[in-house]
């Protein structure tokens, strides 16, 4: 049996966790809490979906630097577990756990972003990643970087990321509506952002972008789907263009999200883009984000310049504005762009691809 030790059970991972539960002999262990202000408010999935009810452990955070997963050291001693799959990056809590598994002949697999640069505690980080029987990494560029750092290529498997299965084109076509005409009272292009409203997303640049484009003759509307610590500051920043900005708030109803996404024209994430790119492309919406691999999330690899969106030079607001204007005024074939987005999701970024990779590699 495979034992999964994951730091949390976020609702957005429901699709892949459900497939794992259905197709693997598996038991989940989830952290019952997340540490840090940036992690607050992440919706938790319902454990009723699992065949075997997950167990939980407490995450203790010592000064924000040394998280500890209480109780995981007992798990290698349970005979029914032949292997473990852990999520996340280098973590002090996993070091004695990995040593115990090695002593007891239990396999350990990792699932995360991988290592971009060794930095502090380089030797321990190398031990952490090199001790894995295999490591599932989200992006091709992340895998390439780890190979360059000296990790064995045959142990690194690109798993991509997902918010669901392959695209349902027929269901999507039924989402077309006049929701934005009704809300804004105009037919201007709509820029959308969906996700936590946090500082790392650089959403102040997005509000400024809409204001500047409007004053320069490229009028558009902005919809922010989500909530977070930056909301009040963003509302203040948008006071001059309030009629063009819709702070929709947090939404976990997929039917509502689907309509909001499908009827938008462009997703813009000035900071790192993450799963927002996958969510938008799932409904045929292209994405604009920055081009810096060192600070990006792996999902930015889904952006094929000119086909499924554009990349701007990180930190260059003028380039962000130019790229947004280029796309909004470019009169692209909307149906062709939508199909290109669908093709990207169907090709790699879905839970059906992910589960097949797990089944091929995991020895359980």
pLDDT in 10s for each residue of the chain, 364 residues:
999 999 899 999 999 999 999 999 999 999 987 765 444 567 899 999 999 999 999 888 776 666 788 889 999 999 999 999 998 778 888 899 999 999 999 999 999 999 988 878 789 889 999 999 999 999 999 999 999 999 999 999 999 999 999 999 999 999 999 999 999 999 999 999 999 899 999 999 999 999 999 999 999 999 999 999 999 999 999 999 999 999 999 998 999 999 999 999 999 999 999 999 999 999 999 999 999 999 999 999 999 999 999 999 999 999 999 999 999 998 779 999 999 999 999 999 999 999 999 999 998 7
The pTM of this model reads: 0.91
Q: What CATH architecture does domain 2-162+349-361 belong to?
A: 3-Layer(aba) Sandwich (3.40)
Token code pair at residue 351: 């839970």
How far is residue 53's CA from residue 245's CA, in Å, rounded to a whole number? Answer: 42
pLDDT value of residue 120? 80
Q: At what angle do helices 14-23 and 351-361 cross, to 10 degrees?
A: 40
Pairing status of strand 309-312 against strand 287-290:
parallel
Q: Work out the burial of residue 105: count CB atoms within 10 Å of its CB; fewer than 13 is exposed, 13-18 middle, 19 or more buried.
A: exposed
Class in CATH terms, 169-347: alpha beta
Backbone torsions φ then ψ of 309, nearest 5 degrees: 140, -160
- CA 7, 10, 13, 17 torsion: positive or negative? positive
Residue ranges of the chain assigned to CATH 3.40.50.2000: 2-162+349-361, 169-347
Which contacts of 227-231 are long-range, i.e. CB under 8 A and separated by 24 or more positions? 227/41, 227/196, 227/197, 228/41, 228/196, 228/197, 228/198, 229/37, 229/38, 229/40, 229/197, 229/198, 229/199, 230/197, 230/198, 230/199, 230/201, 230/203, 230/204, 231/197
Q: Which of 77, 6, 64 is nearest to 36 (CA)?
A: 64
How far is residue 300's CA from residue 349's CA, in Å, rounded to a whole number? Answer: 11
pLDDT value of residue 330? 86
DSSP 312-351: E-TT-HHHHHHHHHHHHTS---HHHHHHHHHHHHHHTSSH
Helix, strand or coil, per DSSP, at residue 254: helix
The strand pairing partners of 305, in sequence order, are 309
**Number of Cβ within a 10 Å radius of residue 259:** 18
**First-to-last C-alpha distance (Å) of the chain:** 6
pLDDT value of residue 265? 97
């Amino acid at each position: 049996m495979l034992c999964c030790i994951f730091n949390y059970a976020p609702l957005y991972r429901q699709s892949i966790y459900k497939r794992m539960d259905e197709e693997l002999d598996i038991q989940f262990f989830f952290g019952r809490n997340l540490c840090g202000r940036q992690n607050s408010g992440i919706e938790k999935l319902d454990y009723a979906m699992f065949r075997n009810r997950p167990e939980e452990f407490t995450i203790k955070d010592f000064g924000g630097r040394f998280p500890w997963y209480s109780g995981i050291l007992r798990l290698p001693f349970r005979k029914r577990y032949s292997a473990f799959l852990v999520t996340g990056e280098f973590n002090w809590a996993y070091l004695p756990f990995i040593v115990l598994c090695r002593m007891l002949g239990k396999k350990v697999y990792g699932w995360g972003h991988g290592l971009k640069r060794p930095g502090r505690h380089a030797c321990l980080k190398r031990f952490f990643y090199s001790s894995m029987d295999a490591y599932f990494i989200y992006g091709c560029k992340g895998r390439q970087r780890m190979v360059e750092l000296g990790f064995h290529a045959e142990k690194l498997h690109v798993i991509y990321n997902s918010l669901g299965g392959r695209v349902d084109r027929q269901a999507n076509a039924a989402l077309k509506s006049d929701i934005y005409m009704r809300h804004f009272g105009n037919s201007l292009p709509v820029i959308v952002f969906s996700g936590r409203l946090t500082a790392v997303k650089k959403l102040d640049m997005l509000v400024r972008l809409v204001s500047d484009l409007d004053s320069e003759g490229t009028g558009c509307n902005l919809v922010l789907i989500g909530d977070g610590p930056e909301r009040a500051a963003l509302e203040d920043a948008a006071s001059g263009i309030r009629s063009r900005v819709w702070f929709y708030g947090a939404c976990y109803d997929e039917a509502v999200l689907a309509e909001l996404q499908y009827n938008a024209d462009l997703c813009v994430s000035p900071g790192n883009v993450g799963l927002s790119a996958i969510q938008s492309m799932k409904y045929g919406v292209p994405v604009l984000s920055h081009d810096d691999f060192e600070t990006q999330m792996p999902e930015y690899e889904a952006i094929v310049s000119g086909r499924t969106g554009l990349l701007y030079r990180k930190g260059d607001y003028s380039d962000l504005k130019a790229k947004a204007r280029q796309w909004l005024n470019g009169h692209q074939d909307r149906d062709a762009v939508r199909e290109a987005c669908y093709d990207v999701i169907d090709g790699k970024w879905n839970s059906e691809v992910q589960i097949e990779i797990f089944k091929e590699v995991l020895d359980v």
